[in-house]
Amino acid sequence: MSLPVEGENRGYSYSDYLSWPEDGRWEIIEGVAYNMTPAPSRVHQEVLIALASVFYNCLKNSDCEIYTAPFDVRLPDKSTDPKDIKTVVQPDIIVVCDQNKLDDAGCLGSPDLVVEIVSPSTASKDYIKKLALYEKHGVKEYWIVHPTDRIVMVYRLGNDKAYGKPDIYDRESKVEVSAVRIQEDPIIIDLQEVFK
């Protein structure tokens, strides 16, 4: 078993990822391995639980599923063969409405909505690499959550298949989720329930 080398483009695949020790958390973005340690902060986890709970309550009577990290999202470019998949990430929260994308290993394909909660060690990856990655793979809505500043930046995929400028919400805001609907009704997230 070869251990990953962080930050170098070694062309790692999902097959490599499956061979790595289970005591570490890793992501691969286009063949480059990223170590997910240290564990997130207490504030990060408080926001994660609060936001996941709000989403869960909104979605519990729908066909959509919500998952929190660690949960593998494999984003194939073409082939779904594990040796050909060069990207596997573990977003903080995902919402998937197409049940065909879910299997015992996680999610194969783009979730409808992805949430990343920023911490100092992940900020550049969340803002640059993952923003480009989620846009490329057609994630309809991407949230970047700032737990200390209590703001949420929401990127929505346009008709041109690109993210425009983000909408920015503070603790006093209510966010309408555009990527997911329940029986044609919008989901509204009150950020006061998230940022206590």
Specify the length of the chain in residues: 196
User: Across the chain, which distance is largest between two alpha carbons, in Å?
Assistant: 50
- The whole-angstrom separation of Cα 56 and Cα 107 is 18
Q: How far is CA 185 from CA 25, 74, 179, 180, 181, in A?
A: 37, 29, 12, 9, 6
Q: Where are the domains of the chain?
A: 40-193
What is this structure's pTM? Answer: 0.94
Digits of tens for pLDDT over the chain (196 positions)? 567 888 877 899 999 999 998 888 899 999 999 998 778 899 999 999 999 999 999 998 889 999 999 999 999 998 999 999 999 999 999 999 999 999 999 999 999 999 999 988 888 889 999 999 999 999 999 999 999 999 999 999 999 999 999 999 999 999 999 998 877 778 899 999 999 8
Phi (first) and psi of residue 165, to 5 degrees: -65, 145
Which CATH architecture fits 40-193? Alpha-Beta Complex (3.90)
Residue 21 backbone class (left: φ over 0; alpha: ψ -120 to 50; beta: rest): beta
